[in-house]
Chains A and B, each alone.
Chain A
């Protein structure tokens, strides 16, 4: 049953490759994504055995990530049908194949209990996403693809070295190397300190470059800026969640080893604050709204890292923010894709008065901006607030102060780009566009926005319980 989560999209990918019609092929995306979501929800709701020795098992942390990924992919798949209808001049065979293979790999990431297999799955998401960034086939997109491919591949290779160090630490401890998560957690206390230390550094650098923590974020603005909107949404909401889950697994090992936790937490807080600072600097006076969204992603992985570094009460907020950030980025990227299509540009010189020209997409983009900067009643407010309050409860006043300062600067910086974009009136010299807001390109982000409001105002009890279970797995137990 659980294997279907991976097999279903893989089969879909194969079918997509075989379907000859460019017009019919995109319909396959929702045809795979909807059953995938239904299956995910069923597996998440069903009770799993308390402990399992195998490689593949869905624990609460995996469930939370799977929920975020499957929902986001489903919405993007429906949107893709409407989007690709405008791009009939270009073959979408590779795009559909890549999206489905990436869904399979992302699902596998959430299921892995073996760190080696987890690494293979994360690497697969990297490789399968590369051709999608290149969908527009121009000089700028190829440059972005090359940077993404090279930086992420080298990063992931370093993560593999970190994994080997971790395995070597178990080898030195008891002559029997292992990378199976339950075994690692069991004898983490025995592991050699030096190797463990090296392993954490390499794993953090490796998965951190995939996550986009500053200073390893340099590929992000380019890739997010040049990829089509729906690919950007999956990069920011899908791959980020996968990489973060990989970091959570490392965190679990740190937790069990006791000795390394404090070091790891401090590095996370430091990198998180640096990410927020970098985002704040580059967000100001940013004319390209897709690149602005990339820096927003850098900011939010920073928030996740800080929350994880603080630990304790912030953990609930971190896991909730993982879901909220993914969904909100979905709203922003999908609506920004519409705006880009209609205006034929993505800088504030060209895009003005989006609310007049595209009332629905412009409105969604504005609402997404308000949501991502953490304003009520949207759910990112709830998760960010719980992280901030936990920082102060832990008496980390300096961290908390900087956090709030960066949030304020980022809010102002983003507003200076977004408000001129959506307000005012469009330039008169702008030609008519083939693009108009239709149900298929506006409906999916609208549904996602409603979900964010729902989660912010009245989160379902089952979800809260799941988040609490996840947070409990990351808490220090005396």
Chain B
């Protein structure tokens, strides 16, 4: 089962590249939803069945696979935008950077003092690579919605690391974290909606009224 989890993690990393390379927002949102669902399945492969596990799996798939994509799609629809037109950094350079970061993540993970049973698994490199992808999207895209997607990918990267420690994160904490993420995205969606109404665009590069003279 653990080897199947590793294959799913490869899929997660491939989705990272899809997101780095795509300019269509609807497509990127669907990709991040698929990534969330894949991540929701993995805990079920690692741990013996229990009510706790079932609850976690169902709530993650529901939240990351359906509710959050719905909220972001809703914001996209209200703001009437389709694609990320002018990123701060082009798609080919970000893809190349993503590849470099992923390679470095593998090198770096080798050097970490991991527990023996985690040494040959993909969890740590996949976590670092996804985290870096999230950062890349956050910093290179102009549209507020792309930044939310970047934040979600970042959160997914952290979640992958958390999979190594399912027993340290009791249900209440995990549920709380998930709920916070949901409410956070909900609030971000509302804010995006207001940004588009106020500036008739969701370009965060237009948010420049506030600075030191």
Contacts and interface: CB of A to CB of B under 8 A. Distances in A.
A428 B84 CA distance: 50
A360 interface: no
Interface string B111-148: 01111000000000000000100000010000010010
Interface string B196-208: 0011000010011
Contacts of A123: 177, 180, 184
B92 interface: no
B193 to A, nearest CB: 10
A418 B60 CA distance: 51
Contact of B115 (A150, A164, A172, A178): A172
A131 B189 CA distance: 12
Interface stretch (B18-26, B29-37, B167-175): B167-175
A365 interface: no
Given A123-B177, A157-B151, A143 B207 contact: yes
A161 interface: yes
A465 to B, nearest CB: 34
Interface residues of B, number: 42
Nearest to B173: A116
A222 interface: yes
A177 B165 contact: yes
A441 B178 CA distance: 39
Nearest to B178: A120
B110 to A, nearest CB: 13
Contacts of A41: none
A199 B116 CA distance: 20
A127 B144 contact: no
A20 interface: no
A142 B158 CA distance: 28
Contact of A142 (B115, B151, B195, B212): B195
Given A146-B195, A157-B154, A192-B113, A116 B147 contact: no
Given A116-B173, A150-B147, A160-B158, A142 B180 contact: no
A387 B213 CA distance: 33
B87 interface: no
Interface residues of A, number: 49
A161 B195 contact: no
Contact of A127 (B161, B180, B209): B180
Contacts of A143: 207-210
Given A116-B170, A149-B191, A140 B210 contact: yes
Contact of B161 (A139, A161, A194): A161
A120 B182 CA distance: 12
A161 B131 contact: yes
Contacts of A142: 191, 194-195, 198, 207
A161 B191 contact: no
A145 interface: yes
Q: For chain A, what secondary structure do more than half of its interface residues adopt (helix, strand, loop), or is it mixed? A: helix
A130 interface: yes
A147 B211 CA distance: 12
B79 interface: no
A134 interface: yes
A461 B177 CA distance: 40
A120 B210 contact: no
B44 interface: no
A171 B187 contact: no
Contacts of B183: 127
Interface hub of B138, B158, B168 (most chain A Cβ within 10 A): B168
B199 A139 contact: yes
B149 to A, nearest CB: 12
B51 interface: no
B6 interface: no
Contacts of B187: 127, 130-131, 149
A130 B192 CA distance: 13
User: 7 nearest interchain CB pairs?
Assistant: A177-B168, A120-B176, A116-B173, A167-B168, A143-B207, A123-B180, A222-B210
26 contacts: A116-B173, A117-B173, A117-B176, A123-B184, A127-B180, A130-B191, A139-B199, A142-B194, A142-B198, A144-B210, A146-B191, A146-B195, A154-B138, A154-B151, A157-B151, A157-B154, A160-B177, A168-B161, A176-B167, A177-B165, A177-B167, A178-B168, A192-B113, A194-B113, A195-B113, A225-B210
Given A142-B191, A149-B184, 18 more contacts: A114-B173, A116-B170, A124-B176, A134-B194, A142-B207, A143-B208, A153-B151, A154-B138, A154-B151, A157-B151, A161-B131, A164-B161, A164-B162, A167-B169, A168-B165, A176-B167, A179-B173, A194-B113
Interface of A: 114, 116-117, 119-120, 123-124, 126-127, 130-131, 134, 137-140, 142-147, 149-150, 153-154, 157, 160-161, 164, 167-168, 170-172, 175-179, 192, 194-195, 221-222, 225-226, 282, 287
